[in-house]
């Protein structure tokens, strides 16, 4: 278990959760987060990376590799291990993160994504003692 | 146009018509618009010479490469499956990473979503398991999730 990845996973998850649970306060205090779509982009990104680092904490070989191919490699490993819930949550956040970081359209559908559900799904994975993939 | 080509063309049109009929009003409008657009794009019993193609239109024809057509077909099938399985209507769809990944996650929201959620331990996972076979065969989608 790679403790540095695990710590980062917990920190990203805690950061996203704090934003979700204190949305009103965060928007009031941080002018840049008043934009609802931007607020979502930040949250999707952080939840995704919480999962990303949680996975890497359990995979020494992959964590030593460099480059962007790790995202797809993680997805393939999760696909092959048969953990369908993990696959669903990871794929869902991978897609949302790509939109959040790279797509310029401010699609209002982003506002329909259930943040509490994502939080609960990600937390259920972060608190696992290990990921068996 | 050969009989086989005709049969496959009719099959596609039937699927689309059924899909568009059963889809939610918003989706049906979108699909009808897209179909109308595509009908201008591919007047293929007049201008396309099939003599160099194999018998099946799925093998080499322009249809195979027409992502929009495939997307409409696959969306119709997925929507029909969801609406029949859960006795509901799909009211919104979103493909946030469209164009950025080989296969993408389709996000949907359905009528009375919160009520349906109460009936299942994990409605979103149930949705995935229901569509798992379709998603494995899909050319565009590899995951389904709730909005």
In chain B, residues 68-107 whose CB comes closer than 8 Å to chain A: 92, 94, 96-97, 100-101, 104-105, 107
Residue A36 pLDDT greater than 50, yes or no: yes
Rounded average pLDDT over A101-111: 96
Distance of alpha carbon A80 from its chain centroid, rounded? 20
CA-nearest residue of chain A to B94? A109
Rounded average pLDDT over B74-94: 98
Determine which of A5-9, B59-63, B80-84 has the lowest per-residue pLDDT on average: B59-63
Q: Which has more pLDDT, B72 or B10?
A: B72
pLDDT in tens, B69-81: 899 999 999 999 9
pLDDT in tens, B111-133: 999 999 999 999 999 999 999 99
Per-residue pLDDT band at A75 (split at 50, 70, 90): very high
Return d(Cα A86, Cα B125) in angstroms, integer.
10
Tokens standing for residue A129: 């003692």
Instruction: Please tell me if residue A1 touches chain B, with a CB cutoff of 8 Å.
Output: no
Q: What is the pTM of this model?
A: 0.78
Q: Which residues pair with B145 in a beta bridge?
A: B107
Tokens standing for residue B86: 């859960």
Return d(Cα B9, Cα A54) in angstroms, integer.
48
The pLDDT of residue A107 is 95
Return d(Cα B94, Cα B111) in angstroms, integer.
15
Number of residue pairs across A and B with CB atoms under 8 Å?
63
Contact A99, A91 (CB under 8 A): no
Owner of token pair 């009719």: B10
Helix (H) or strand (E) holding B110: strand B104-110
First CA to last CA across chain B, in angstroms?
Answer: 43
ipTM surpassing 0.95: no
Q: Which has more pLDDT, B77 or B58?
A: B77
Select from A88, A99, A114 the Cβ nearest to the Cβ of B96. A99
Contact B94, B63 (CB under 8 A): no
Q: Do A91 and B105 touch (CB under 8 A)?
A: yes
Q: Do A88 and B92 touch (CB under 8 A)?
A: no
Per-residue pLDDT band at B33 (split at 50, 70, 90): low
Nearest Cα residue to B74 out of B101, B45, B103: B103
From chain B, the residues in CB contact with A88 under 8 A are 124-125, 128, 143, 145
Return d(Cα A1, Cα A77) in angstroms, integer.
17
Q: Which residues pair with B94 in a beta bridge?
A: B107
């Amino acid at each position: 278990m790679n403790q540095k990845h695990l710590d980062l996973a917990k920190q990203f998850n805690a950061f996203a959760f704090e934003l979700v649970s204190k949305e009103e306060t965060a928007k009031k205090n941080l002018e840049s987060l008043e934009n609802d779509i931007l607020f979502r982009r930040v949250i999707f990104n952080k939840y995704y990376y919480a999962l990303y680092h949680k996975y890497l904490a359990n995979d020494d070989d992959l964590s030593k590799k460099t480059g962007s191919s790790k995202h797809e490699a993680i997805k393939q490993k999760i696909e092959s291990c048969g953990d369908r819930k993990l696959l669903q949550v990871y794929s869902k956040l991978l897609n949302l993160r790509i939109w959040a970081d790279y797509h310029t359209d401010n699609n209002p559908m982003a506002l329909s994504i259930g943040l509490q559900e994502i939080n609960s799904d990600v937390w259920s994975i972060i608190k696992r003692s290990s990921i068996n993939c | 146009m050969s009989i086989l080509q005709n049969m496959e063309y009719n099959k596609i049109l039937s699927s689309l018509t059924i899909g568009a009929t059963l889809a939610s009003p918003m989706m049906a409008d979108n699909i009808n618009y897209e179909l109308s657009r595509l009908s201008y794009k591919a007047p293929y019993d007049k201008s396309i010479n099939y003599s160099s193609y194999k018998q099946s239109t799925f093998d080499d024809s322009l249809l195979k490469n027409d992502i929009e057509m495939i997307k409409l077909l696959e969306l119709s099938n997925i929507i029909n499956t969801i609406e029949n399985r859960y006795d509901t209507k799909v009211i919104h769809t979103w493909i946030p990473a469209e164009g950025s990944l080989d296969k993408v996650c389709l996000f949907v929201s359905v009528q009375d979503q919160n009520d349906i959620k109460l009936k299942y331990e994990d409605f979103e996972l149930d949705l995935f398991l229901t569509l798992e076979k379709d998603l494995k065969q899909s050319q565009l989608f590899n995951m389904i999730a709730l909005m």
